[in-house]
Amino acid sequence: MRDKLLWRLLGAQLLVIAIAVAISGALIMDRAAQFFMVIMTRYHIDPTVVERDFVDAIQRVLVAGSVAAAAVAMLLGWILVRRLVRPISDMMLLAERIAAGDYAQRVETRGPDELVRLADSLNRMAASLERVESLRRDLVANVAHELRTPLSTLQGYLEGLRDGVVPVSRETLASLHEEVLRLVRLVDMLQQLSRFDARMSGLQRTRFDAGVLAQQIAALYHPELSARNLRVTVVAGAPRPEVEADADLVGQALRNLLDNALRYASAGTDITVRAASLDGGVRLAVENVGEGIAPDDLPHIFERFYRGEKSRSRDTGGAGIGLALVQEIARAHGGDAGAESTPGGTIVWLTLSNAGR
């Protein structure tokens, strides 16, 4: 492809040069003949013999000059065209590798500004596809790992019940029910993840009061909080914590933070939701009193499917997706998420920026 394009461009250039030389030669010959006849007439010289020599000399000069000019033009054109064709060829090869599923390759950004921008766009596309592919592989591996434990437990109990090895009792049924609930929680979180990834294609930004949204979300948890003797308090700072963001996604992030706090809060304590204005955005934080996060686990709690040892218990174990979604939602709005924990409690927060990405 590269050679075909190269020779086509050089051929087109040679054709233009040939046309330009032919037209220029014809004009020069015509004007030179006119001036020659004027000079011969003025000095009373017979032009018959001299004119032939003059025309031959002009033709030799034109041919030599045209050949030299064409050679130089072709050489310079060849160098220029090679500089243009080589990056295009490299980008073509990169596109073919991407189409074949190889997202690790990159192309060198060189040449004119237009080609540099095109190469940079291809590199960013390859990097984005590589990241998506990595997430897909991690998702498949993590989902398979998360499903294996409850399914193995269910399989073992059911085979024991079928063979009469395990007696049918309330405790056995409760254990099976808990494993089913673990599967349901995992499927629910995966559904949240899929909805979030679909929603990310276009955030629906509106301006709203983050404090009011926090109160609305907290009100939904009153029955569950009351059952566990917990209380939730929403504290909105001044000025009003208004932000331009996707209210549905921010509400989802708050629900995930409250789910996390509810899971680990000690009975009879308060859960506090704080909404405060920042320069160009807001900060939302959820605080709970209870067993803190282990220092070794704290840097990893926002990773998808990561769960510390204490969260693997059957009573409190989540699917390890909730906080990862919180961070994704924060970053989609130009902010970030973080956590602080002590042996007596935990604060998990996210920031949102009006500017977004």
Q: What pLDDT digit, counting tens, does each position of 246-283 carry?
A: 898 899 899 989 988 888 888 888 899 999 998 888 99
| Structural domains of the chain in order of their starting residue, each with its CATH number | 2-102 (no CATH), 206-357 (3.30.565.10)
Q: Which amino acid is at 188?
A: D
Which range has highest mean pLDDT (31-40, 45-54, 97-106)?
97-106
Confidence at residue 31, expressed as pLDDT on a 0 to 100 scale: 67
Confidence at residue 2, expressed as pLDDT on a 0 to 100 scale: 47
Looking at 58-62, 120-124, 246-250, which range is the least confident one? 58-62
Looking at the predicted structure, is the pLDDT value of residue 313 above 60?
Answer: no
Looking at the predicted structure, is the pLDDT value of residue 141 above 60?
Answer: yes
pLDDT category, 210, cuts 50, 70, 90? very high
Determine contact, residues 35/54, Cβ cutoff 8 Å: no
Pairwise pLDDT comparison (183 vs 209), residue with the higher score: 209
Torsion region of 219: left, alpha or beta (phi above 0 gives left; psi -120 to 50 gives alpha): alpha
pLDDT category, 37, cuts 50, 70, 90? low
Confidence at residue 318, expressed as pLDDT on a 0 to 100 scale: 54
Per-position b or e across 64-99, b if 16+ CB within 10 A of its CB: eebeeebeebeeebeeebeebbbbbbbbeebeebbe
How large is the average pLDDT for residues 16-41?
69
Task: Tell me, yes or no, if the pTM score tops 0.85.
Answer: no
Looking at the predicted structure, is the pLDDT value of residue 357 above 60?
Answer: no
